[in-house]
Amino acid sequence: MAWLFVRGLLAVAIIVCGLVILVRMAEALPQGRFAVLPGIVLGGAMIALGVHRLSLIARVRGMM
């Protein structure tokens, strides 16, 4: 259970990091436009990974 909690925390941390990257890229949007696209995809991928990890944890908890 404690291990699941740690994994859940890590997943939430990944989502937060993704959000921070998205916000920082959005700040640079007026200067960069196209240049911020890889950063936006990076942030999106981090959020997707965090959500995927959380959904797996939720499934494991459902089985317990």
Partner 1 sequence: MPADSKSSQPELRRSVTPWGSFSWGYSDVGADIFVGLGLVLAWAAGASNVAFLFAGVVYVCIGLAYTELAATYPVAGGGQYFVMRGLGDIFGFIAGWAVLLDFTIDVTLFAWTSVDYSSQLLPALVNSVHPWLHFGVVLGLVIGLCLLNVIGVRESTTFNGVVSALDVISETCILCFGFLFAFRPQLLIHTMQTHWPSPYELMLGTSLAIISFVGLESISQAAQETQRPASIIPRTSVSLILTILIFALAYSNLALGFQPWHPITDAAGHHLQFWQIFPNNPDNQGKAVALLAAQVPYYGAFAALYVPVLGAILLLISSNSGVFGSSRIAYAMSTSNLLPSIFQRVHRKFRTPMISIVFFSIIAVIELLFAAAPALFPAVSSLYTRFFHGENGLDFLADLYAFGAATSYSFVFLGLIGLRLTDPLSPRKFKIPLNVPMRFRGERVEFPIVAVIGFIGIFSILMFTLFTHPLGRIFGPSWLLLGLLFYLVYRRYRRLPILGSQPRNWRTAQTEILRRAGELELMDEYVANVKASDALRAGQGT
Question: CB 43 → partner 1: shortest distance, Å?
Answer: 9
Give the Å distances, CA to CA, from 23 to 17, 18, 53: 10, 9, 22
Rule CB under 8 A: is residue 36 a binding residue for partner 1? yes
Smallest distance from partner 1 to CB 4, Å: 14
52, 32, 56, 35: which is closest to 44 by C-alpha?
A: 52
Q: Which residues in this chain contact partner 1 in the complex, by CB under 8 A? A: 17, 21, 24-25, 27-28, 31-32, 35-39, 41-42, 45-46, 48-49, 52-53, 56
